[in-house]
Amino acid sequence: MTLRWPPRPLTPVALAGLAALSACAPTGSGAVSTPPAAATAETAPAAKPELDAQIRQLMADADIVGMAVAVIEDGEITHVNAYGYRNREQRMPLETDTIMYGASLTKAAFSYMIMQLVDEGLVDLDRPVADYLDKPLPAYPDYASLEGDEEWRLVTPRMVLTHTTGLANLRFFEPNQDLRFHFTPGTAYAYSGEGFWILQLMLEEGLGLDVKAEMQRRIFDRFDMPNTSMQWREDFADNLADGYAMDGSFEPHDERSNVSAAGSMDTSIADQARMWRGMLAGEGLSAESRAGPATSRFARKNATAAW
């Protein structure tokens, strides 16, 4: 397995919340010219004119080029809309089926898939990842820097899902770009995309699963997400959202060809609305799994956040 999705400099291209996904970028001009909110077949039936007006005002105040928003209330999707442009230079409006970076929302979708595997007995949240692999983790080229540090043997799927592995977010942010443990796994919290790559390795090398296929079947097909994929699709090119750096310069939407549990998902706000509605309802999970991995014994410890 090779490392997926090398990160680019952080830009305000995609911002996401539990039930809202935004493609955001400063205009660099101090003013925003936005077309009418997108009216597509995906737009929710209940209009929210006051909300639309507030969003447009917030966009103007923050010089945002485009934003997509979904609202889920009492388990139902009550509003889905898109505002502004997916490409300002070409005056292309952002729509509710426009392809946008899912970024780290990928982790939530991947985690939901992992909980399905837990229900099926294929994954034990508290069994070390090392037990699933046919060779030591440092024997895989991407993890050679962990040679001599036995703490990798402690990492479990639950630690990955609760961000308690002790690994940095991404090795690319380390001074020498070598992966290392900042604290003993399971003893503190620190957000880590690297942990998700290890869990992906476990599924692919240890269980022989195709992560792209499993995500498609268990998440994207289940929640009726036709415009979502873990890997770039050519049909995305006709309706995708580009981005802009903090200085307003154009940043084209790149084609992420490698599957990454940490953040390769391309998606639309309409698809995200359906996914989050389904996940909030716990569809396809047992009652225990709906409670989530954070109800573990770790959650009951007096753990501290690291760095």
User: What is the DSSP code string of 126-159?
Assistant: TS-GGGGSSS-GGGSGGGGGGTT-GGGGG--HHH
pTM of the model: 0.85
Residues 288, 106, 110, 136, CA torsion sign: negative
Q: Which domains does the chain carry?
A: 15-104+226-284 (no CATH), 107-213+292-305 (3.40.710.10)
CA distances from 196 to 93, 129, 160, 211 (A): 34, 11, 6, 12
Tens digits of residue pLDDT in 138-175: 999 999 999 999 999 999 999 999 999 999 999 999 98
- Residue 238: the pLDDT is 95
Question: Please, which pLDDT band fits residue 89 given cuts at 50, 70 and 90?
Answer: very high
Tens digits of residue pLDDT in 12-21: 333 333 333 3
Length of the chain: 307
CA distances from 54 to 57, 161, 168 (A): 5, 35, 37
Q: How many CA atoms lie within 13 A of 242 on its CB side?
A: 18
Instruction: Determine the Cα–Cα distance for residues 5 and 264; give it in Å rounded to an integer.
Output: 6
The region, left, alpha or beta by phi > 0 then psi within -120 to 50, assigned to residue 91 is: left
Q: Which DSSP symbol is given to 20?
A: -
